[in-house]
Structure 1
Amino acid sequence: MRNAKIFISSFILLISLSLSLLAQQKQDLAFAEAVKNGVLVNEGFNRSIKYVNAWTKYADPGTGLIPRNIKESKDYWNAWDAAADNYPYMVLTSSILMPEYLNTTALNMLKTEQNLTSRIGKLPDTYSFTKKGFLNETPDSSQIIFGAAEYMKDGLIPLTEWLGQSPWSDRMLGMLNDLPSLTRIVKEVKDGRFGKSAVVEVNGDLLQVLTRMYWFTGKREYLDWGVEIGDYYLNDERLPTVAMDRLRIRDHGCEIISGLCEVYLATYYSMPEKRNQWQKYIHQMLDRILAIGRNADGLFYDEVNPITGEILSERLADNFGYTFNAYYFVHQIDSKPAYQEALIKALSALNRKYRNHNWEGNADGYADAIEGTLNLYNRVPIPSVKEWLDSEIRVLWAFQKPEGIIEGWHGDGNFARTTLMYCLWKTQGIVPTSWDEQLNIGAVDDNGKLKIAISCKTGWEGLLKFDLPRYKDLMHYPTDYPRINQFQQWFTIDASKKYTIKTANLKPKTVDGAELIKGLPVKVAPGEAVYLTVSKGKD
């Protein structure tokens, strides 16, 4: 009996030791991954800084504004390209990594742009550097509407979701408030490239801006305006899948899908009777696109005829993630399992068949595909998708030239946007208050505990700022629904809660969440690696 007890005790001890070793091994693996993430973050952040510095060299000497591109359109600034797609990500990069640049060069660009390019109230028009005035003698209201809508949705919304109230959010609200002097529902855009798709693009842009500004400001008039546009489309006559013989499920068309679904989501929370009225049309639109708009792997085609079901362009839409955003949150509120299944099917195919896929044939295509996928991975963390993201970011980064320019057009900003999103995933939202090109910061969420690895060859001392629930604290959204151009939330800190910080050879420290949001002081000796564990609650 005694021998049996000794055997049992020894067996229990052996199990305990094995479990302890397994736990230690798991912890080491989490920190090892954090170290790898830190190397990726270092490269990504340095590439983003290089992009900002390179484009700054091409700014017009007289105004300080960046041109539409550095080739055939280097003589002018425009709202829907230079302002919407490039400049905002110079601002966002500098807000994270280059504070002096943000408060001088980036802010001065905004002030100059407002002074020089505002043509109808605060609405901007294209500005020629050589003319030192507007490119067109007579203002074209449809182009001014198009430019303002693109600038707000693609550029100023992402900045506002990251910064909260700022001079950039003020710029957006100024344009939005002046837009009704020209139109409330866009019915014509003079555009030779996209035809009727330009009209639904602009209305889709406005729906996204109006919905988000309704939450941001609390002003009901923005939602009422969005509902006005929603009513225009969500009916038997003008539903995009009923009234259009060409529906782009990619950029310059897919905006209407997301826009209508975003205003639908807002009515779910604020106008349930309107949500009930619209529900069948939202489902009809999304069902039709699933039925005729996908390849065998579940990825969307560029363009289809939703009336006949004909595929007009078999090229795959790099913006597939943007459209699946809408399917995700409509499933969340309406319990539509087929929408979730469609999303999972598409994501599951990426690593198997779409590595190094030729998305649109340029860096912007890769950026959009990676961004949309990252947004969905944030909600549906399929392991193979992580592998695909880590693979494809290298393809995107390979587009950057030694001087820092990517391809020399406004799409270069999207390179930085997606790179920053990727890096913030790898830090779990942590950013340093001062950047050093030798600094490595990586983090991993290990079952609710944040494992952080920091190193710097030359040594570093500063603050690590942890992310807060921006969707709620800055934007006042009712939920963190997936949306175009959002900067994802990973490990977020509740300012009212306590957190425990652990590091080797030091007693655990309990701190307020508000302190972590302001910044945790960290000092790293040259060549040293510091490992931190952050967990919720007191030790």
Structure 2
Amino acid sequence: MQRKSKKIAAAVLASIAIGAIGYFVSRESALLSETERDAALSAEAVSRVRSFLDYTVSSIDPETSLFPRDRAGAIWAPRDNAADDYPYAVIAAKLFGKEDDLHALERVLESERSVTIRENGLVDDYDFDKGRFFLPRDPERLLLNNAEYAKDGLLPIVDALGKDSPWTERLISIIDSIWDAKQLWSSETLPSSRLETNGDLLQVLSRLYWLTGDEEYLEKARGIADHYLLTEPLVASGTPLQLRDHANEVIVGLSELYFAFDHADKNKTVLYRKPLRDLYEAVLEEGRTDEGLVLSSAGGDALTDNWGYIMNAIRTVADIEDDEGYRAETVRTAEAVASLGERVWEERYPFDGYADTIESAIMTLSYYPAPPLFSWVAENMERLWKLEDSLVSKGPNYLYGNVARTNMLYALMKSKGFTLEPWPENGGLAAKSGEDGIELFIYLPPGSEWKGILKASPARHSTIWSMPSNYPRINALLEWFVPNADVEYALSSGPASERSKVTGARLLEGVALELSESGVIEIAPARLGQNR
């Protein structure tokens, strides 16, 4: 059953020309504007996301509509390829207008929820070649599989595609199934004995509250938070705080719940304030080096590539309480990271370590200023691309999705969230903010033309999640430039060109463009455009 999809995937790998955008930047850099260089880098990142999408779709088994977590077998693993690969394949297919790919990936969802459910509506590792579950029943693994799939697999899709999709329905059904299966829980009040599982659920429940307005999700999250803040506080556990991936999820999730309670139940905010601050004080004092770098484990030596997850959680509390001290500490950590040279963030999978630490940096840059990180990100993207090339040549595993995620975030950072539909083959898009508005540069390969839609990104925190503000959080497409729907903007293709006027709402819906070569598009509030 698996052989045919293996052969197709191998053929796709053989045809992938990573780095094929090459070398639009090989001209003397002095001849290129910053926006042109960024467009070239955007094109490179997008080409790599396309390659990931092609590989993932070509790996789908034609009989079961599932795809494997690696090339060694036919295992669908909810916490691995379902959580790391699947969401970014879906988002890429949507961004690039690949309708056939999107339909194929919807069939994956249909198969996952009809074939891989083990009990009580919960999915488990499934060998689709042999038509059976891969491992013996294990309640802890079952809960972790579903919590990871919900947080890392489904949350990003809902954030990118919106609430009206089958993925939203699936997200809600998995969380409901976990609470309907309390016979699997480790205790009456705590789903799992694992920090990772419970932290995943804290993050998902907090966002489902915003998505649905249903306070039942806050009540479910409250039970977990009470345990880690009031009953058995993490800081009093007698073990070092764990700040690495697969252990820091509670520390991150508590800030999300604190943000939700700050708007929904101030009494809970008051109750949680001291124990939460005690926890974050311990992170700042025991969980960092003297320079401000975040450790994998308090008191240890290794650094965590999830430093942005941790510091952005602290930043959320800083913004809620207007705490300049906490704000300064988040900037100090960002600047310390920016001073680092080349390093191995993760021994076993170096490409994954780079993907996560760059994600941390891009997230940080989207939420608060840390200018030194921009050049650090650029330098480390080059290192990531070299590691990605090696990964592809050997045959990707499920962590390929983390690289694709970071490539996607990087491209959208360069374009400030603007997208092109359809995205031109080997094309790039970059944006630069100025006093008078935004300058966009659309790169087309020599001799090519493009006709399509230029679209700005919405304020997803409000339009999708109904959040009152855009607090720092993972598994979200970041907000860079969001037009005001009610403001009129002037569009032009250069100083001497005729200006057209569109509303911000129209920019969000998409503006039709037709280009015969690479070019500049300027967007400014109409009043500014008239006065220039």
TM-score range with shorter-chain normalisation?
A: 0.7 to 0.9
For residue 453 of structure 2, give the secondary structure of its aligned residue in structure 1. strand
Aligned partner of 1:123 in structure 2 is 122
Aligned partner of 1:329 in structure 2 is 316
Aligned partner of 1:357 in structure 2 is 343
Q: Distance in 1 between matches of 2:394 and 2:322?
A: 42
Q: Distance in 2 between matches of 1:351 and 1:474?
A: 33
Change in CA separation of 1:264 and 1:247 when aligned onto 2, cut-off 3 Å: same
Alpha carbons 1:262, 1:326 under 8 Å: kept: yes
Change in CA separation of 1:327 and 1:221 when aligned onto 2, cut-off 3 Å: same
1:154 to 152, 155, 166: 152
Deviation at 1:278, TM superposition (A): 0.7
Unaligned runs of 5+ in 1: 1-28, 189-195, 305-310
Q: Distance in 2 between matches of 1:129 and 1:184?
A: 27
1:534 to 493, 498, 523: 523
Aligned partner of 2:263 in structure 1 is 269
Change in CA separation of 1:407 and 1:347 when aligned onto 2, cut-off 3 Å: farther
Amino acid of the residue matched to residue 45 of structure 1? Answer: V
Change in CA separation of 1:293 and 1:36 when aligned onto 2, cut-off 3 Å: same
Change in CA separation of 1:185 and 1:330 when aligned onto 2, cut-off 3 Å: farther
Counterparts of 1:478-497 in structure 2 under 5 Å? Answer: 478-497=468-487
Q: Distance in 2 between matches of 1:349 and 1:295?
A: 10
Counterparts of 1:284-433 in structure 2 under 5 Å? Answer: 284-304=278-298, 311=299, 313-352=300-339, 354-361=340-347, 362-401=350-389, 404=392, 408-433=396-421
Deviation at 1:438, TM superposition (A): 3.1
TM score, norm. by length of structure 2: 0.87
Q: Distance in 2 between matches of 1:55 and 1:431?
A: 22
Alpha carbons 2:235, 2:241 under 8 Å: kept: yes
Aligned partner of 2:48 in structure 1 is 47
Q: Distance in 1 between matches of 2:329 and 2:184?
A: 32
Deviation at 1:488, TM superposition (A): 1.0
Q: Distance in 2 between matches of 1:459 and 1:142?
A: 54
For residue 471 of structure 2, give the secondary structure of its aligned residue in structure 1. coil
Alpha carbons 1:468, 1:494 under 8 Å: kept: no
Residues 266-275 or 244-253, more deviating:
244-253
Alpha carbons 1:405, 1:412 under 8 Å: kept: no
Q: Distance in 1 between matches of 2:466 and 2:110?
A: 27
Deviation at 1:407, TM superposition (A): 6.1
For residue 33 of structure 2, give the secondary structure of its aligned residue in structure 1. helix
Aligned partner of 1:4 in structure 2 is none
Deviation at 1:293, TM superposition (A): 1.0
Deviation at 1:186, TM superposition (A): 5.3
Amino acid of the residue matched to residue 358 of structure 1? Answer: V
Amino acid of the residue matched to residue 536 of structure 1? Answer: P
Change in CA separation of 1:463 and 1:346 when aligned onto 2, cut-off 3 Å: same
Aligned partner of 2:6 in structure 1 is none
For residue 177 of structure 2, give the secondary structure of its aligned residue in structure 1. helix
Q: Distance in 2 between matches of 1:53 and 1:223?
A: 39
Alpha carbons 1:124, 1:148 under 8 Å: kept: yes
Which of 1 and 2 has greater Rg? 1
Alpha carbons 1:469, 1:494 under 8 Å: kept: no
Alpha carbons 1:30, 1:451 under 8 Å: kept: no
Q: Distance in 1 between matches of 2:401 and 2:203?
A: 20
For residue 464 of structure 1, give the secondary structure of its aligned residue in structure 2. strand
Unaligned runs of 5+ in 2: 1-29
Q: Distance in 1 between matches of 2:183 and 2:235?
A: 22
Aligned partner of 2:20 in structure 1 is none
Q: Distance in 2 between matches of 1:174 and 1:212?
A: 14
The count of residues paired between Structure 1 and Structure 2 equals 490
1:280 to 274, 282, 286: 274
For residue 470 of structure 2, give the secondary structure of its aligned residue in structure 1. coil
Amino acid of the residue matched to residue 377 of structure 2? Answer: L
Change in CA separation of 1:31 and 1:186 when aligned onto 2, cut-off 3 Å: farther
Aligned partner of 2:13 in structure 1 is none
- Does structure 1 residue 111 correspond to structure 2 residue 110? yes
Q: Distance in 2 between matches of 1:401 and 1:390?
A: 17
- Does structure 1 residue 471 correspond to structure 2 residue 471? no
Q: Distance in 1 between matches of 2:216 and 2:183?
A: 12
Aligned partner of 1:202 in structure 2 is 197
Aligned partner of 1:36 in structure 2 is 37
Q: Distance in 2 between matches of 1:359 and 1:339?
A: 25
Q: Distance in 1 between matches of 2:393 and 2:264?
A: 45
Alpha carbons 2:244, 2:297 under 8 Å: kept: yes
Amino acid of the residue matched to residue 501 of structure 2? Answer: T
Instruction: List per-residue Cα deviations over 1:402-425 (Å, max 9, x = no partner).
Output: 895686222110101111001001
Amino acid of the residue matched to residue 263 of structure 2? Answer: Y
Alpha carbons 1:59, 1:65 under 8 Å: kept: yes
Alpha carbons 1:31, 1:531 under 8 Å: kept: no
Instruction: List per-residue Cα deviations over 1:4-50 (Å, max 9, x = no partner).
Output: xxxxxxxxxxxxxxxxxxxxxxxxx9992221111011110011111
Amino acid of the residue matched to residue 516 of structure 1? Answer: L
- Does structure 1 residue 220 correspond to structure 2 residue 221? no
- Does structure 1 residue 59 correspond to structure 2 residue 60? yes
Alpha carbons 2:90, 2:102 under 8 Å: kept: no
> Among the aligned pairs, what percent are the same residue?
29
Instruction: List per-residue Cα deviations over 1:150-195 (Å, max 9, x = no partner).
Output: 001111111111111211111111111111122399547xxxxxxx
Amino acid of the residue matched to residue 265 of structure 2? Answer: M
Instruction: List per-residue Cα deviations over 1:333-356 (Å, max 9, x = no partner).
Output: 12333322221112112232x222
Aligned partner of 1:23 in structure 2 is none
Counterparts of 1:83-98 in structure 2 under 5 Å? Answer: 83-98=82-97
Aligned partner of 1:14 in structure 2 is none
Aligned partner of 2:510 in structure 1 is 519
Q: Distance in 2 between matches of 1:522 and 1:184?
A: 57
Q: Distance in 2 between matches of 1:426 and 1:303?
A: 33
Alpha carbons 1:50, 1:404 under 8 Å: kept: no
Change in CA separation of 1:517 and 1:494 when aligned onto 2, cut-off 3 Å: same
Q: Distance in 2 between matches of 1:414 and 1:45?
A: 14
Aligned Cα root-mean-square deviation (Å): 2.2
Change in CA separation of 1:483 and 1:392 when aligned onto 2, cut-off 3 Å: same
For residue 64 of structure 1, give the secondary structure of its aligned residue in structure 2. coil
Amino acid of the residue matched to residue 511 of structure 1? Answer: V
Alpha carbons 2:139, 2:185 under 8 Å: kept: no
Instruction: List per-residue Cα deviations over 1:292-332 (Å, max 9, x = no partner).
Output: 1111221111113xxxxxx2x41100100000011111011
Q: Distance in 2 between matches of 1:224 and 1:175?
A: 17
Deviation at 1:61, TM superposition (A): 4.3
Deviation at 1:197, TM superposition (A): 10
TM score, norm. by length of structure 1: 0.86
Alpha carbons 1:498, 1:536 under 8 Å: kept: yes
